[in-house]
């Protein structure tokens, strides 16, 4: 299978799950100290992951958890981000300039910074109060959700915490590679059909909203140089639907969290107004050993990522376009 190293992917996921004792130690220590607000800080792809984590928490918890956009922070500011706040961030390079700038200001405020920074000794790794370094692609959500889960457990909102992670530890890694194998034929067919689309619309809700936001922007636009637009399922019905006709390429991600009904509403509408739609439903991917009641947590997003990874691999090959290259980003100053 193209661009698929089964053992490495299993090891990557298992390794991310193995970070849990370290995450728990950090979260328990900040919990002990007390805090006012929790901020997931990000920009671009990490902003999308932040939206996923906060939507996840909001659906289950009373915790004051918010998304903080890095560039909005150092321009607009946020007076409710204080010395008693917790700020969680993630970065592959540890050098994302807007995040560095935001973190520098947050340090003067004195909030506690918890960073999943994949490059040791990078600026962001040096600046955070607590750093976990684990450079494995596709594990950012596991890390962010692990923090969320521990916070909710400590807040008395996740009684099944141990049972849940026992299932993930035992079955998640294997389940995801199996899902990727299952998705490969679909990924190829989708890539063949849509790799020259002039524009492609991606729709999602709940933690799939962050997924489509990131998929359209960080994968199709940034990596594949394909034009795409993401739109929240609930918002799609308040404007964007009007430009859809028979030929418009539209893909709907259906997840399994509280907002699934919003995606299902779009699912009901699309076949009446469009002849070029695709539904990707995480429910179509069984994962042995993971209870039904846990699927709406991080799993439904990770399954979606398995599917899109297969699309991307085939688009890269068919379009003769290496996903690593950038026209502009980090190519010159602006």
Contacts with a second copy, residue ranges (CB under 8 A):
43-45, 47, 55, 58-59, 61-62, 64, 66, 69-72, 75-80, 98, 198-199, 205-206, 217-218, 221-222, 225-227, 229, 232, 234-235, 237-244, 257-259, 261-262, 265, 268-269, 272-273, 326-329, 334
CB 242: neighbour CB atoms within 10 A? 8
Decide whether 45 or 175 has the Cβ nearer to a second copy.
45
Rounded to the nearest whole angstrom, what is the least distance from the CB of residue 177 to a second copy in the complex?
27
Closer to a second copy by Cβ: residue 70 or 287 = 70
CA nearest neighbour of 195 among 299, 317, 283, 105: 317
Least separation, in Å, of the C-beta of 317 and a second copy? Answer: 19
At closest approach, how far in Å is the CB of 188 from a second copy?
Answer: 23
Is 30 or 216 the residue whose CB approaches a second copy more closely?
216
Least CB distance from residue 7 to a second copy, whole Å?
Answer: 31
The residue to which tokens 């671009």 are assigned: 44
Q: How far is the CB of 50 from a second copy (least distance, A)?
A: 12
DSSP secondary structure of 12-40: HHHHHHTTHHHHHHHHHHHHHH--S-EEE
Strand order across the beta sheet in which 86-91 lies: 65-69, 38-42, 86-91, 112-117, 130-132
Query: In whole angstroms, how close is the CB of 292 to a second copy at the nearest point?
Result: 19
CB 298 within 8 Å of CB 210: no
Say whether 296 sits in a helix, a strand or coil. helix
Cα(142)–Cα(56) distance, rounded to whole angstroms?
12
Shortest distance, position 138 Cβ to a second copy, whole Å: 17
Residue-by-residue DSSP string for 182-245: HHHHHHHHHHHHHTT-S-EEEEE-THHHHHHHHIIIIIIITTT---EEEEEHHHHTTTGGGG--
Could you tell me the smallest distance in angstroms from the CB atom of residue 47 to a second copy? 7
Given a contact cutoff of 8 angstroms between Cβ atoms, the answer to whether 328 and 167 are in contact is: no
Two tokens at 142? 């596991």
Which residue from 90, 109, 111 is spatially nearest to 35, judged by alpha carbons?
Answer: 111
Total H helices, total E strands in the chain: 12, 9
Residue 281 CB, nearest distance to a second copy (Å)?
17
Beta partners for 42?
69
How many residues does this entry show for the chain? 334
103 and 89 Cβ atoms separated by less than 8 Å: yes
Q: Which is nearer to a second copy, 11 or 258 (CB)?
A: 258
250 three-state secondary structure: strand
């Amino acid at each position: 299978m193209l661009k698929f190293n089964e053992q490495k992917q299993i090891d990557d996921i298992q390794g991310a799950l193995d970070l849990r004792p370290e995450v728990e130690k950090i979260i328990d220590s900040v919990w002990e100290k007390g805090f006012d607000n929790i901020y997931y800080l990000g920009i671009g792809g990490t902003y999308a992951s932040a939206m996923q984590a906060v939507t996840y928490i909001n659906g289950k918890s009373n915790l004051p958890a918010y998304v903080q956009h890095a560039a909005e922070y150092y321009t607009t500011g946020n007076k409710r981000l204080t010395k008693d706040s917790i700020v969680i961030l993630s970065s592959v390079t540890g050098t994302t300039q807007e995040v560095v700038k935001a973190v520098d200001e947050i340090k003067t405020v004195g909030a506690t910074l918890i960073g999943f920074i994949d490059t040791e000794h990078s600026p962001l790794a040096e600046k955070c109060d607590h750093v976990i370094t684990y450079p494995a692609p596709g594990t950012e959500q596991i890390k962010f959700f692990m923090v969320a889960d521990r916070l909710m457990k400590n807040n008395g909102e996740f009684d099944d915490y141990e049972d849940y992670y026992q299932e993930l530890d035992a079955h998640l890694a294997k389940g995801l590679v199996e899902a990727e194998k299952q998705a490969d034929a679909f990924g190829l067919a989708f890539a063949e059909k849509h790799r020259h689309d002039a524009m492609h619309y991606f729709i999602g809700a709940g933690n799939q909203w962050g997924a489509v936001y990131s998929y359209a922007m960080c994968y199709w636009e940034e990596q594949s140089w394909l034009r795409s637009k993401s739109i929240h399922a609930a918002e799609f019905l308040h404007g964007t639907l009007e430009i859809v006709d028979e030929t418009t390429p539209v893909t709907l991600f259906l997840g399994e969290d509280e907002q699934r009904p919003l995606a299902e509403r779009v699912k009901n509408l699309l076949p009446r107004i469009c002849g070029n739609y695709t539904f990707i439903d995480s429910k179509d991917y069984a994962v042995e050993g993971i209870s039904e009641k846990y699927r709406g947590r991080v799993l439904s997003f990770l399954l979606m990522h398995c599917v899109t990874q297969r699309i991307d691999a085939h688009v890269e090959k068919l379009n003769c376009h290496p996903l690593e290259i950038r026209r502009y980003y980090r190519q010159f100053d602006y």
